[in-house]
Chain A
Amino acid sequence: MSLARSLGASAVRRNVSRRSLHEQRWHGPISRRAFMRTAAGATGVALGSSLWRPGLAWAAKGSTEPSPIPGGTELPFGFFHFFFPGHKMEPSTITDFNGFVGVAELEGTGVGTDPDTGDTIPLVFGVDNRFMEGEYVAVDGSHHQGLFGFI
Chain B
Amino acid sequence: MDVYKGPPEEDFSNQIHDFDPGIAPSGLFWTTALPSGSVTGSAGTGNARMHVTDLAVRDYHDIPNALQQGPFVDATVSFDMRWTGGGGHVKVRDHTNDFGGRYVEGTATIEWSGVNAKGEFFQSDPANTSVSHFAEVGKERNGIFFQ
Residues on A lying within 8 angstroms of B by beta carbon are 1-3, 5-7, 15-18, 29, 31, 34-37, 39, 41-47, 50-55, 57-58, 65-72, 75-78, 80-82, 85-88, 90-115, 121, 123-127, 129, 131-133, 135, 137, 139, 146-151
Contacts and interface: CB of A to CB of B under 8 A. Distances in A.
Interface magnitude class on chain B: 35 or more
5 contacts: A1-B8, A67-B143, A95-B142, A125-B2, A147-B33
A109 B6 CA distance: 9
Contact of A151 (B3, B4, B19, B64): B19
Contact of A55 (B2, B21, B134): B21
Nearest to B100: A90
Nearest to B43: A100
Contacts of B7: 124
A124 B20 CA distance: 17
A98 B145 contact: yes
Given A53-B56, A97-B142, A129 B79 contact: yes
Dominant SS among interface residues on chain B: strand
Given A77-B68, A91-B136, A108 B125 contact: yes
Contacts, number: 326
B23 A35 contact: yes
A31 to B, nearest CB: 3
A106 B39 contact: no
A55 B68 contact: no
Interface in B60-90: 63-64, 67-74, 76-77, 79, 81, 83, 90
A149 B21 CA distance: 9
A18 B144 CA distance: 9
A29 B28 CA distance: 13
Nearest to A125: B3
A150 B31 contact: yes
Q: Which of A41, A53, A96, A151 has the most CB of B within 10 A?
A: A151
Contact of B27 (A35, A75, A104): A35
Given A54-B33, A103-B136, A65 B24 contact: yes
